[in-house]
Amino acid sequence: MPELAMVNGVVSGLDEAFVSIDDRGFVFGDGVYEVIVSYHGNLFLLDEHVDRLRRSLKFIRMEYVDVDAIVQQIHTVFAAAEIPRAKVYVQVTRGVAPRNHQFPVPAPKPTVVVTVRDFPPLPEPLFTDGISCLTRPDTRWGRVDIKTINLLPNCLAKQEAIENNCLEAIFVSAEGKVREASAANLFLVKNETIITHPANELILCGITRNALLELAERAGYAVEERSPDVEELLLADEVFLSGTTAEVLPVVRVDDQPIGQGRPGPVSLKLLGMFREWIAGK
Ligand SMILES: Cc1ncc(COP(=O)(O)O)c(C=O)c1O
């Protein structure tokens, strides 16, 4: 079960995989990505990730990329790695060219990197005890709905969270509106109603977010898609995060204040249970 990389169609070990120092992803962050996980040897919600990759590429004006060929590459390297519970990282950049901001003419060959690594489960106490979060100002650009590799504000916010004994940072706008976490979407629960940010250009519309909204509907919960303010977040009965790698993660403290009873609440645990049943069948 080796961890593998594929760079422009060539499979290798992770240590042998390289891209050029003139790659526009490296120089400008001129690229987009996806993270897909597998459960029991099946790539989970692959079509949804591929649709979002197409959308991201279109936004950065790389609609000429052969996404079907990338999907084939994903299948090839995933099958070769033989890792049943894997994390598949896919990155597409505008390719290699001397450093000039404008797009190179003619367009270089896109650089396509796929890696397949182990995806061990998060420690169970994170789910049973919940996690702590820190709010941080949302200093990101105005189109965070596009899954670009420009993640410096996310990295800085996450680092500050870790330095404050928290596991995640929650981005809050200058107007005090709660957006999402540095690498996950955010939900809060008040009186059994589930509230999450609308899928507009101010958050990344998570594949897991959308899946959870379907599960919530199936479970009969009322859902409101709106941006809560920080006060509402702190007064919520429950808060939880969603993401491909976070899955459904209860949040029990924000900025050192307990959320609800300071324990994962029934709605979070119900959705986590439904999510786990779903992936168990994958
Ligand atoms: C900023 C941000 N929001 C939300 C998500 C969750 O998206 P998904 O459920 O598609 O993994 C991610 C995942 O990386 C993210 O980086």
Q: DSSP of 41-62, one letter per residue? A: TEETTHHHHHHHHHHHHHHTT-
Report the alpha-carbon distance of residue 277 to residue 186 in Å, rounded.
21
The residue to mutate among 53, 204, 210, 248, having the most atoms of ligand 1 within 8 angstroms of its beta carbon, is: 204
From the CA of 244, how far away is ligand 1's center (Å)? 7
The pTM (predicted TM-score) of the whole model is 0.97
pLDDT in tens, 206-264: 999 999 999 999 999 999 999 999 999 999 999 999 999 999 999 999 999 999 999 99
Angle (CA) 144 46 226, round 5°: 40
Ligand 1 is surrounded, with C-beta below 6 A, by 35, 180, 183-185, 204, 206-209, 242-244
Kindly give, in sequence order, each residue whose CB lies less than 8 Å from that of residue 5, ignoring residues fewer than 6 positions away. 11, 12, 13, 14, 16, 17, 77, 113, 114, 115, 116
pLDDT in tens, 3-25: 999 999 999 999 999 999 999 99
pLDDT in tens, 74-95: 999 999 999 999 999 999 999 9
What is the pLDDT at residue 1?
Answer: 72
CA distances from 255 to 41, 133, 170, 197, 203 (A): 38, 6, 10, 20, 21
What is the pLDDT at residue 144?
Answer: 98
The one-letter amino acid at 64? Y
What is the pLDDT at residue 281?
Answer: 84
The model's confidence at residue 282, banded by pLDDT at 50, 70 and 90, is low
| pLDDT surpasses 70 at 204 | yes
From the CA of 20, how far away is ligand 1's center (Å)? 27
User: Percentage of the chain surpassing pLDDT 90?
Assistant: 99
Q: Annotated catalytic residue: which of 87, 147, 158, 177?
A: 147
Report the alpha-carbon distance of residue 248 to residue 122 in Å, rounded.
11
The HSE-up count of residue 116 (CA atoms within 13 Å, CB side) is 26
What is the pLDDT at residue 253?
Answer: 98
